Structure 1
Amino acid sequence: MNYDYERLMRAKRDVKLISACSLTIDQAIQVAVSRIGGSVYDVKLKEVDHRVVWRIKLFAAGRRVKVYVDGVSGNVLGAKAEIFTIEPSKEAVLDAGFSRTSEDFVFDPLQSPL
């Protein structure tokens, strides 16, 4: 029974947020992509500091970026970028022209197959 009550409360909250928002999801995405660029992978309507805000997550220039767009005015309120890297395996690093010296990987362009 508690689960049904929680679902009802989430649905009421979502309806309240959507009713207070004058910016559609498509318009919010357009604002974020035009300002930051990249590809959208997640969108959520939230309440932040008593404001209706679209949070759009993008992949842009090797980073994950969260863009916050005001749900009423359409202004970008802020953006946060997170750099992510994929650690290559030792074999992939050596095949790419890196040689291992002590604990560091050093790039040797003369050994690089590129």
Structure 2
Amino acid sequence: MDDVLGYLIIAIIIVGFAFGFALQLQEVLLIRKNNETVHKRLLYGYYVRCVAYVGFLTAYLLNVLVAAGILQNAYFTDSNTSLWSSLFLIVLLFTHFVMRQKKSMRMQKEKL
């Protein structure tokens, strides 16, 4: 029973981040399609966030496969995959909160 619950939580995390990546990619494509006037720094932040989503999902899936014993390779170890998933998650959170904060601060200044 514990294994089923653990795999269910893993599946929910993967689906959640995949959905977040799909929404982020849709937002980037919409900005590029409409040629909205967005500062290049903000657009680069969106690009980095998309790369961080893909990197985190890849590293997390590798971590799950290595921990389950499905993938046995000398290059992929638990510590390596967990380190990379943590780094990509930190980049993802950093771009999400820092870029959003500066964007909202800039919008407030423009209203004044």
TM-score (norm 2): 0.26
Higher-Rg structure is 1
More strand by share: 1
Using CA pairs under 8 Å that are at least 6 residues apart, name the structure with larger relative contact order, 1 or 2.
Answer: 2
TM-score (norm 1): 0.25
